[in-house]
Chains A and B, each alone.
Chain A
Amino acid sequence: MRPVIPYVTAALLFGLGVYGVLRRRNAVLVLMSVELMLNAVNLILITADTTVRAALPQTGQVFALFVIVIAAAEVGVGLAIVLQLYRLRATVAVDDVPLEKVDA
């Protein structure tokens, strides 16, 4: 087993996610980028699980399950907030409207 490949892949995925957060104006896409970062972590956890002499076996896989569940909850909340904002503003761009000007 060569753990280098999944590790590098995971790092690339994480970087891609960070890049997405920084470059995307669409809130949904920013959200997806964050999910990408979390999935990169999942990949690391599962890879580590097979390579590290863990105190308890298979813990990494279990962690990944936790992360998936939390990520799902996060998406639920996030989409609710984005949807709200879309209704109010009819746009989901994160930096279209400066905060102070809409002080209504």
Chain B
Amino acid sequence: MLQIESLSCFRQDRCLFKDLNAKVLPGQALQIVGENGSGKTTLFKILAGLFEEYDGRVITAAGSLYLGHRYGVNDQLTPVENLKFLLKLNEIQLAPGLLMDALARFQLSAELDQPCAALSEGQKKRVALARLILTSARIWLLDEAFSALDAPGRAVLSEVCQAHLAAGGILIFSSHQGIPEFAAAAQLRLEVGS
């Protein structure tokens, strides 16, 4: 479960949002909606535990995985090395076969042994997203995870997300494009300068 209680945040004397309330139960998705600069990324950072200057309460009852605009893929390492590192950060040890499967699911089989510097922006993002297939985190915080992906990539990602929800996971995401699969998800709207 993830619960937000009267959450307010000020940055540089500007009020980003005031009195946010939300409750997400296992198996539910929540879409954060708002214009550029309305504080979506800050909200994600608060939920992930990266940003602590806020009023109100955030209650998380499970481990979370945060993927932001910068998603931790190093240019010098290969996709496999990157993925292995990101998973080991949460002490997840895996058979190499599973890593390959996860990367194959995101159509990265051909790029396995080149450094990520040679990959496109969308492909790098897929490397980070492959982590979702293997993680044990119950709460996913995906800030603009659908951007920079092509249509097949978006399809794979929403499949993975739906499987996560079906298994009782929690999904918090933001997206400027409409994601048809999640059109029915609850929304939390942030207004600029509210």
| A complexed with B | no
